[in-house]
Amino acid sequence: MPVLGIESVVYCVSEVVRSVAFFEDFGLRLTEDRPDRAIFSLPDTSQVIIQDIEKHAISGSRIEGHGVHEIVWGVDSMNHLRRLVDRVVVDREVRWDEDGTAHFIADGGLPMALRHWPSHRMPLTAVDPVNSPGNVNRMNVHRSWIARARPKRMMHAVYLMPQPDEAAAFLCDRLDFRLTDRQRDVGVYLRCEGASDHHNIALFNSTGGFSDRSGATRFHHINYHVTDLDEIMVGRNYMERRGWPRSTWGLGRHRISSALFHYLPCPAGGEAEYGADSDQIDDGWIPRDWDGLFGFGQWVHDMPDFWIEGHDWQVGFAAGSVPGRGSIEDRQPDSGSPLSTVKEVRG
């Protein structure tokens, strides 16, 4: 299982101080603070780096605007790291740092890097038992109270780009990522080989779907993984008390990954997402093909205008998907092979 997940991200920003203040309120732990560069550390030992875009621009990046200009993927061993770099170096430059990090530009103009991640650990969490009619799991005990949201790890990153399938093919062919799902006219979701998250990166089409149709390559958001719904809402309330801009959509649950979400506008670029309760999968998963709007959400607190109309409820298998392993063999999604016909159930 070579690539384990996001070991670190590098935000390139113009307002370092304001960005640092945001992430401190968001719940990250500041471990290094300089005028032009700051570092936050998360419980899984991953890092969030904030740096001045004028002093520390990343060469070769096609990403426009502020946001995460480099993702460093953590690899489980040096042997696996060298094997992956051998695939990358065939047709592009790889720059090695003294600490053993291999930097390169992935298809689509996305700066990425590979680094051995021996300290990686999955934080252990516990959720309170849930009561429902006829299903009592918490008797004479109230739920836990928390004062602040404290993200445990980064689950995924999302980018907008004009040709997401090409970048996705690079990640699958060179770094052994798995295709998880497709969202028609929106993009693709990919999982690291060594992770069980529904996706660790999503690549959205900047010429259609939910984009501004500009065709630009831009950072969209990072998902910061918290324990449950309560932690999401505690974090949201705290950010509002601190005066940060409110979420556009509020709390919601995606249908395509089952995950709870709450996106907040971020001064470091794009949005910062509190996320919880996502589907977990392995190589037995078969990638699916979704209508874009249907996959967007099961429910949203502040429903956007684009989601008011009805959607195509039919879900099919992604073209070219092979049982046990996601692949991108056919670049065009096939909506004609239904996985199931889902009927709306009203309570």
The predicted-structure confidence for 296-308, as pLDDT tens digits, reads as follows 999 999 999 888 8
The predicted-structure confidence for 229-250, as pLDDT tens digits, reads as follows 999 999 999 999 999 999 999 9
Cα-based angle 122, 20, 109 (whole degrees, multiple of 5): 70
CB 198 within 8 A of CB 278: yes
Band (pLDDT 50/70/90 cuts) for residue 321 is low
Band (pLDDT 50/70/90 cuts) for residue 206 is very high
Q: Which residues, in sequence order, are CB contacts of 196 under 8 Å at separation 6+?
A: 280, 281, 282
Token couple for 25: 């309120």
How many Å apart are CA 66 and CA 268, to the nearest integer?
A: 6
Mean pLDDT on 207-234: 92
CB 224 within 8 A of CB 239: no
pLDDT confidence of residue 335: 38
Using the predicted structure, report yes or no on whether residue 94 has a pLDDT greater than 90: yes
Mean pLDDT on 163-168: 95
Band (pLDDT 50/70/90 cuts) for residue 1 is low
How many Å apart are CA 245 and CA 266, to the nearest integer?
A: 8
Read off the DSSP letter of residue 268: T
The predicted-structure confidence for 112-143, as pLDDT tens digits, reads as follows 999 999 999 999 999 999 999 999 999 999 99
Using the predicted structure, report yes or no on whether residue 44 has a pLDDT greater than 60: yes
Is the pTM value of this prediction over 0.85?
Answer: yes
Domains and CATH numbers, the chain: 3-120+151-324 (3.10.180.10)
Average pLDDT, the chain: 91
Using the predicted structure, report yes or no on whether residue 334 has a pLDDT greater than 80: no
How many Å apart are CA 75 and CA 54, to the nearest integer?
A: 30
How many Å apart are CA 92 and CA 84, to the nearest integer?
A: 13
Band (pLDDT 50/70/90 cuts) for residue 318 is confident
pLDDT confidence of residue 233: 98
pLDDT confidence of residue 340: 35
